Each structure stands twice: as C-alpha cells, then as structure tokens.
Structure 1
Amino acid sequence: MDLILWRHAEAEDLHEGIDDHARRLTAKGQKQAQKMAYWLDSVLPDNCRILVSPALRSRETMIPLAKRMRKFKIEENIAPNADAGALLDAANWPNSRESVLLIGHQPSLGLVAAQLITPTQPECAIRKANVWWITQKERDGEGLRTYLKAIMSPDLVIKS
C-alpha cells in the first residue's frame, strides 16, 4: 500500500475575524497546487483513493487534480488538528490494498509521517504544498517494511 500525504498549499494567514476552515489559497498557493497536481497526475496509481480535509484551503489545493478527472471524497476525520490515528483510520492503513492520497494539514500529516517512518521523532515538518510518499513492501521474508518513497516540492516540478 502507498500512503501519500499532501499538505495544502500556501493559504491566507489566520487572523481575527476569519474562520480557520474558511481560509483560501493565496495566488502563490494556487500555483503550488497546480504544479503538484500536474506531478501527482503523472505518478498516482489509477486506483488511488483521494481523501480531502473539509477546510477550504485543502479543497482548493485539490481542484487542479480534480480537473484532471480524479475523483475525491471530503473526509471530516482529516480536518485541521486531527490526530494521526484518525488519518490512518481514514486511509485504512495498513490494511488497504489501494493507494490513498490524504490532502490535509500540519501537524497532523507530520505526526503520521513520524509515526510510520521515524518513530523516535515526535513529528516531521511537512512544508506547504509538499508531498510525502510512504510505501509498504514485503522484503525478503522480513515481512512488511515501511519506507519513505519520495518527497516532492512544487519548486521541483517542471511543467512542459
């Protein structure tokens, strides 16, 4: 199984009078989302299940990928400040046979990454718009092993 963690792109700052769930992407965030959607569309397995936080900035991050004919589901359990267990339950990790892309927030995504790949570290810092790709593979009779397959940043995406 592959578990792909995509932190929402750059959003408006949180300030008094705005609901955290209603923050929108900035112009830079929209460009970040477009670049990452371009890359993800070229590498995601066809059977990838996509779960998106209900926060507006996460849904806006998803829009460029949805325009590429990818279906997704809004998942309440991966809203801001969800715990790592809620994200793993939503993804059905490690029992799912399909790949799962979670589009969400820090620190939740970083807690998941740390739990799966660096258990001695309490949290990983996942930057805005970055993707962390975690996979499980059977290894020479050692059982399932968890690996960090890739980290991708919108700055590294070259659109042709």
Structure 2
Amino acid sequence: MDLLLWRHAEAQDGQDDLARPLTEHGHRQAKRIARWLERHAPEDLRRCCSPARRARETLEAWTQDYELLPEAAPGAAPLAVLAAIGWPELERPTLIVGHQPTLGGIAALVLAGQHSTWSIRRSALWWFKRRQRHGHVETVLRVVLDPELLD
C-alpha cells in the first residue's frame, strides 16, 4: 500500500502556530508539488491534512477534497499519526500533509523500522510503497521530491 508524506510549504512566522499562512514562496513550492501530484498520484488517494493553516494551504494548492487529521497537528507523535491512518493495513493509498519533526519520524519508522529524527524539507514529498515480494513484506521509497528541483 502507498503512503505519501508531504511537508507543508514555507510559512510566515507568527505567534499562533495553527494560524500561520504560507508565504508567496510557499505558495509557489506547493503549486510545484501539486502539478506533479496531478500527473502521478495514485488513484483513489485518501488525502489527510493537519488542521494547521499552512498545511491546509499547501494541500489546497492541489485539491479541496481532503479530510482534516487532528492527530497530524504540529508536535504530533509519529506513531499516533500512523495509528490514526491505519498503517500498515491501509485500505487505500494515503497522503498526509503535516509537519516536522513528525513526518521525518514517520519516514524513519516506515522505512527503517526505528525511531529517528530524519529531516524532510519544506514542501518536499516522500512516497513509500509497502508490498509483498518473494514471501516478505518490504517498504520501498518510490520518490523523494524537492519543489525547488521541479519546474
């Protein structure tokens, strides 16, 4: 099953962490990844998003069709987010738009099976595929995209 992690794009500084909007640069970053997703996202993709404004604005560069995932709010525990979406027994491919260090922690758990503090750049997209191969379950890192490298 596919799991996609998309870190929110660059946001403005502010006191109310949940209300911080994207910068102009952040909107451009989000649109670059959105254009790529438009062409390559798996069919029947479940789209989950942190309730923070910057995460919602990032995902809204691509779609208005998503569900808020309170468990993915800033400071969320990686295991809590994975439990909320039902990993590894996902019913359908799932995208999470969220924050650091949570997404980096999820990436480490999914790919390496251990807790770690991996870093995911702003507006970067990581795509994992969990599959059975030769009688073993494996997780493959399919794609890592940096918006600055996309046209």
TM category, shorter: over 0.9
Match of 1:157 in 2: 150
**Contact 2:105–2:115 under 8 Å retained in 1:** no
Query: Normalising by the residue count of structure 1, what TM-score does the alignment of the two structures yield?
Result: 0.89
Paired amino acid for 1:153 = D
Structure 1 stretch displaced more, 145-154 or 120-129:
120-129
Question: Following the alignment from structure 1 to structure 2, what is the Cα–Cα distance between the partners of residues 64 and 22?
Answer: 17
Q: How many residues align?
A: 151
Q: Select the structure of larger CA radius of gyration.
A: 1
What do you get for the CA RMSD once the two structures are aligned? 1.3
Match of 1:118 in 2: 112
1:83 matches 2:77: yes
**Contact 2:71–2:81 under 8 Å retained in 1:** yes
Q: Secondary structure of 1:66's partner?
A: coil
Match of 1:56 in 2: 53
Question: Following the alignment from structure 2 to structure 1, what is the Cα–Cα distance between the partners of residues 22 and 71?
Answer: 21
Residues 46-96 of structure 1: CA deviation (Å, up to 9, x unaligned): 2100001000000110112116xxx21111111001101121022211111
Paired amino acid for 1:64 = A
Identity %: 39
**Contact 1:113–1:123 under 8 Å retained in 2:** no
Query: Normalising by the residue count of structure 2, what TM-score does the alignment of the two structures yield?
Result: 0.95
5+ long unaligned stretches in structure 2: none
1:136 matches 2:130: yes
**Contact 2:50–2:97 under 8 Å retained in 1:** yes
